[in-house]
């Protein structure tokens, strides 16, 4: 099944690094609940006065202010867009991101190092300027099929494009008479603790409203155990639901999307391999076919 019809008009690089757009921060909201790990912000930027358009599944670049250790301007960092093409305010004038503050120990000094761009974004205040480029990306776009099955697998802030998908499918129904999703959307989300489930209340509210069309399956590694008594990761949830996922993937309009840390891909392949093995099919061969049909979409970092 080709997607040419759906993806003919994809905006790309309306704003380039040499000629970026200056937006303003409209809001910054903490997404990690009390007792969770780290900080993750839902940020909304004002795009009015510019021409930035985007589709669900694309990314924008952010150029943090200041200079690097060599005195050169910082390079841009890419972030998946967490809002639909109409923006959180449905006025086509905003874009939202879901950003975790990067924090790690320096391997030699043992000092805590904070990510340059993620720290800038997580500490930004309402009214502050933000330098934006893009949009970029064609890998994670939704098919133009209201009856499709959309399987989404995310860890942490990898949920960003899927929030955009889910909001477009279910939250904007009244505003989108031209797009009324009637298929199945199934989100698998992995994190360490329950307070780290991003957008939890909103996701569960949509699940209550659309029980036949939307499912959420969590893998909370520090709280849940897999069948062997170890930590529950996303691949264990894939294995638990292997038979159904396998059957869904036999349909020509089922698309699988993976977004999050690179390390999650191996586990997902392991889970799907267990499923396909039950039916005597080699997973890597089947996956190649899915990729060829543009039905297996991966964006990991």
199 catalytic, yes or no? Answer: no
The alpha-carbon radius of gyration of the chain (Å, integer) is: 19
Catalytic residue among 118, 233, 259, 276: 259
- Which tokens in the block code for residue 273? 């391999």
Q: Could you tell me if 90 and 209 lie in one domain?
A: no
Domain annotation covers residue 14: no
Q: Could you tell me if 269 and 166 lie in one domain?
A: yes
Calpha distance 35→177 (Å, rounded): 41
Q: Could you tell me if 163 and 65 lie in one domain?
A: no
Q: Could you tell me if 96 and 51 lie in one domain?
A: yes
Out of 78, 100, 135, a domain closes at 135
Q: What is the pLDDT of residue 54?
A: 98
54 catalytic, yes or no? Answer: no
How many other C-beta atoms can be found within 10 angstroms of the C-beta atom of residue 79?
A: 23
Q: Could you tell me if 164 and 292 lie in one domain?
A: yes
The pLDDT tens digits along the chain (301 residues) read 333 344 668 999 999 999 999 999 999 999 999 999 999 999 999 999 899 999 999 999 999 999 998 999 999 999 999 999 999 999 999 999 999 999 888 888 889 888 999 999 999 999 999 999 999 999 999 998 999 999 999 999 999 999 999 999 999 988 888 889 999 999 999 999 999 999 999 999 999 999 999 999 999 999 899 999 999 999 899 989 988 999 999 999 999 999 998 888 998 898 889 888 888 999 999 999 999 999 999 999 8
Out of 111, 135, 159, a domain closes at 135
301 catalytic, yes or no? Answer: yes
15 catalytic, yes or no? Answer: no
80 catalytic, yes or no? Answer: yes
* CATH code, 50: 2.40.30.10
Out of 108, 135, 162, a domain closes at 135
Catalytic residue among 104, 114, 179, 301: 301
Catalytic residue among 15, 79, 199, 257: 79
What is the reported pTM? 0.94
Domain annotation covers residue 1: no
Q: What is the pLDDT of residue 7?
A: 60
Q: What is the pLDDT of residue 5?
A: 41
Place of tokens 């670049």: 61
Q: What is the pLDDT of residue 8?
A: 62
Domain annotation covers residue 157: yes
What's the N-to-C CA distance of the chain in angstroms? 28
Q: Could you tell me if 228 and 286 lie in one domain?
A: yes
Catalytic residue among 28, 56, 59, 80: 80
Domain annotation covers residue 194: yes
- Which tokens in the block code for residue 229? 């008594």
Q: Please count the structural domains in the chain.
A: 2
Q: Could you tell me if 171 and 200 lie in one domain?
A: yes
Q: Could you tell me if 253 and 277 lie in one domain?
A: yes
* CATH code, 184: 3.40.50.80
Q: Could you tell me if 227 and 102 lie in one domain?
A: no
Q: Which residues are annotated as a binding site for NADP(+)?
A: 80, 100, 157, 221-222, 231, 260-261, 299
Domain that holds residue 98: 21-135
- Inter-residue contact 96 to 42 (CB < 8 Å): yes
Domain annotation covers residue 32: yes
Q: Could you tell me if 117 and 172 lie in one domain?
A: no
pLDDT tens by residue, 257-266 = 999 988 889 9
Q: Could you tell me if 105 and 55 lie in one domain?
A: yes
- Inter-residue contact 161 to 299 (CB < 8 Å): yes
Q: Could you tell me if 101 and 37 lie in one domain?
A: yes
Calpha distance 266→288 (Å, rounded): 15
Q: What is the pLDDT of residue 271?
A: 86
Q: Which residues are annotated as a binding site?
A: 80, 100, 157, 221-222, 231, 260-261, 299
């Amino acid at each position: 099944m080709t997607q040419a019809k759906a993806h003919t008009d994809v905006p790309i690089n309306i704003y380039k690094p040499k000629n970026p757009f200056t937006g303003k921060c409209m809001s910054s909201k903490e997404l990690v609940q009390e007792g969770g790990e780290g900080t993750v912000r839902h940020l909304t930027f004002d795009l009015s006065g510019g021409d930035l358009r985007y589709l669900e599944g694309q990314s924008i670049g952010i150029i943090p202010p200041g200079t690097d250790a060599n005195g050169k301007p910082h390079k841009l960092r890419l972030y998946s867009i967490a809002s639909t093409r109409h923006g959180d305010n449905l006025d086509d004038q905003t874009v939202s991101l879901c950003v975790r503050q990067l924090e790690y120990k320096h391997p030699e000094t043992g000092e805590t190092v904070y990510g340059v761009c993620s720290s800038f974004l997580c500490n930004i205040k309402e009214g502050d300027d933000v330098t934006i480029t893009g949009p970029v990306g064609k890998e994670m776009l939704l098919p133009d099929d209201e009856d499709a099955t959309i399987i989404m697998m995310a860890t942490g802030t990898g949920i960003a494009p899927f929030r955009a998908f889910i909001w477009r499918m279910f939250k904007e129904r009244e505003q989108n008479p031209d797009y009324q999703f009637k298929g199945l959307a199934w989100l698998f989300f992995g994190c360490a603790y329950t307070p780290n489930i991003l957008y939890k209340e909103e996701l569960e509210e949509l699940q209550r409203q659309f029980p036949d069309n939307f499912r959420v399956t969590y893998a909370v590694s520090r709280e849940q155990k897999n069948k062997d008594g170890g930590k529950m990761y996303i691949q264990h949830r894939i294995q638990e639901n292997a038979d159904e996922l396998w059957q869904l993937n036999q349909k020509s309009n089922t698309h699988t999307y993976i977004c999050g840390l690179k390390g999650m891909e191996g586990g997902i392949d392991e889970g799907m391999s267990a499923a396909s093995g039950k039916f005597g099919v080699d997973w890597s061969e089947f996956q190649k076919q899915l990729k060829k049909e543009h039905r297996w979409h991966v964006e990991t970092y």
